[in-house]
Amino acid sequence: MKEDIRIDVLIVGGGLIGGPLAVALASAGISVAVVDSENPNLAVDQAFDGRASAIALAPQRALAAIGLWPAIAPSAAAIEQIRVSDGHSPLFLHYDHQAIGDEPFGWIVENRAIRKAIRDRLAELPRVRIFAPARLTSLERQAGGVVAHLADGTRFSAALVVAADGRASPTREGAGIGVTKWAYDQTAIVCTVAHSRSHRNTAHEHFLPAGPFAILPLPGNRSSVVWTEKSHLAPAILKQDDDAFLAELSSRFGDFLGDIAIEGPRFSYPLSLQFANAYSAHRLVLVGDAAHGMHPVAGQGMNMGLRDVAALAEVLVDAKRLGLDLGHGSVLARYARWRRFDNLLMLGLTDALVRLFSNERPALRVARDFGLAAVNRAGPLKRFFMRHAMGLVGELPRLLKGQAL
């Protein structure tokens, strides 16, 4: 008989969302086991995940409050200006962070830097056990608790299981929670670009006919490029040799940052929108991509996941300190109610943005260009959009306000 592990919460998936959740819970006195199918030492390579994530102000405060930010900060570039433009139209939207305060809109961080910070922090915390690479061979959500096994016979008993295992979440599927989903017929091509001039901490979002083309500042003279392309064209672009690919990229990137060179591998991800039809079931909750997946146009995927983490951690820590059963329906309902509307709203907004801008009908182009210019001049409306993108709107969990749990 292998080890019998009794914990409060079993987290399936220790990535960019499951990892911070484990850190938050364990730092607040909740015992946790994390089961992840990836090898944590390989997951921090650039070859594993070459993407960067936008982290808005409020989620950054949460990462700071749980002690992860100091390890991430050296790899993060602040976003101080955002320029949004539409094709070759002269009208554009310019956001300056000084319009609402001294703090930046957010930061761009390479995912591997976040993964490394999570791995190192989890290793320090006494209340967390990590099982990776490993897979659950059984998961039973019984009346009094959750019982799960690994292939080697290790047995977990917990009050609650959290599905943080991504868009295709096997845990969500296993529980029979369906998803509503549609594909965008767009593929994101992602790579890192080195350039000779400073990006001056400005993020650029350029709406091209095929979809948004984003240039996001990284530390030093480097930027992360998210190039949205029509799905049927993407394979041909990705197959090109380095020179041809660079030429294709340069025609979109422009020369405003001087000479450019591509650093590291290229990645591609098909884009879709999906949301789970429920956020909780008996002794189970969904967080991050397992609950919702969106287009990267507004850079909100990681942020919505971290907002889930902040809300769930608060709900569970409050319940723990009242002696409540962490898997009880009344506890899980509070989390689901808190997050579902906020996430659906963001999914709707990003979807509308993608549809509005990935469209070449002349009337629509004129309308949206004047819309951008109008928003640019309307101070209060612009400030509201800015505060929303920074994650400062709505009933905020303590972590998003930078407070301890």
Partner 1 sequence: MASTTTPTTASPEEIARFQAMADAWWDAEGDFKPLHQLNPPRLAFLRDHLAEHFSRDATAPRPFEGLSLLDVGCGGGLLSEPMARLGFAVTAIDAGEKNIGVARLHAEQGGLDIDYRCATPETLDRQFDVVMTMEVIEHVPDADAFLSAVGDRLKPGGAFFGATLNRTPQSFALAIVGAEYILRWLPRGTHDWRKFVRPSEFAAALRRVGIAPKSFEGVRYAPLRERWERCASLEVNYAVYGVRAG
Interface positions with partner 1 (CB under 8 A): 6, 29, 142-145, 157, 159, 318-325, 328-330, 333-334, 337
CB nearer to partner 1: give 6 or 383: 6
**Residue 296: both structure tokens together:** 């990267």
C-alpha–C-alpha distance, residues 15 and 25, integer Å:
15
Distances (CA, A) of 49 to 132, 177, 180, 364: 17, 28, 26, 36
CB nearer to partner 1: give 83 or 127: 127
C-alpha–C-alpha distance, residues 301 and 342, integer Å:
13
The DSSP H or E segment spanning 275 is strand 260-276
Question: Roughly how many angstroms between the first and final C-alpha of the chain, as a whole number?
Answer: 37
Peptide bond into 133 cis (omega under 30): yes
Contact (CB, 8 A) for 289 and 301: yes
**Residue 166: both structure tokens together:** 């991504």
Collapsing DSSP to helix, strand or coil, 92 comes out as strand
**Residue 125: both structure tokens together:** 């915390």
CB nearer to partner 1: give 2 or 6: 6
User: Beta strands of 100-152 (E only): which ranges?
Assistant: 106-110, 128-131, 136-141, 146-150
Question: What is the closest distance, in whole angstroms, from the C-beta atom of residue 335 to partner 1 in the complex?
Answer: 13
Question: What is the closest distance, in whole angstroms, from the C-beta atom of residue 56 to partner 1 in the complex?
Answer: 25
What's the CA dihedral at 105, 110, 111, 117 to 10 degrees?
-90
CB nearer to partner 1: give 82 or 175: 175
Question: What is the closest distance, in whole angstroms, from the C-beta atom of residue 114 to partner 1 in the complex?
Answer: 28
CA 21 to chain centre: 13
* The three-state (H, E, C) secondary structure of 226-246, written as one string: EEEEECCCHHHHHHCCHHHHH
Contact (CB, 8 A) for 8 and 326: yes
Distances (CA, A) of 126 to 7, 68, 129, 177, 310: 12, 16, 8, 33, 21
Question: What is the closest distance, in whole angstroms, from the C-beta atom of residue 396 to partner 1 in the complex?
Answer: 14
User: Beta strands of 126-257 (E only): which ranges?
Assistant: 128-131, 136-141, 146-150, 155-158, 160-163, 179-195, 202-208, 211-218, 222-230
CB nearer to partner 1: give 136 or 319: 319
CB nearer to partner 1: give 143 or 363: 143
**Residue 373: both structure tokens together:** 């210019």
C-alpha–C-alpha distance, residues 156 and 12, integer Å:
12
Question: What is the closest distance, in whole angstroms, from the C-beta atom of residue 330 to partner 1 in the complex?
Answer: 4
CB nearer to partner 1: give 96 or 325: 325
Question: What is the closest distance, in whole angstroms, from the C-beta atom of residue 120 to partner 1 in the complex?
Answer: 24
Question: What is the closest distance, in whole angstroms, from the C-beta atom of residue 145 to partner 1 in the complex?
Answer: 6
Question: What is the closest distance, in whole angstroms, from the C-beta atom of residue 143 to partner 1 in the complex?
Answer: 5
CB nearer to partner 1: give 323 or 380: 323
Question: What is the closest distance, in whole angstroms, from the C-beta atom of residue 4 to partner 1 in the complex?
Answer: 12
CB nearer to partner 1: give 183 or 333: 333
CB nearer to partner 1: give 236 or 333: 333
Question: What is the closest distance, in whole angstroms, from the C-beta atom of residue 167 to partner 1 in the complex?
Answer: 29
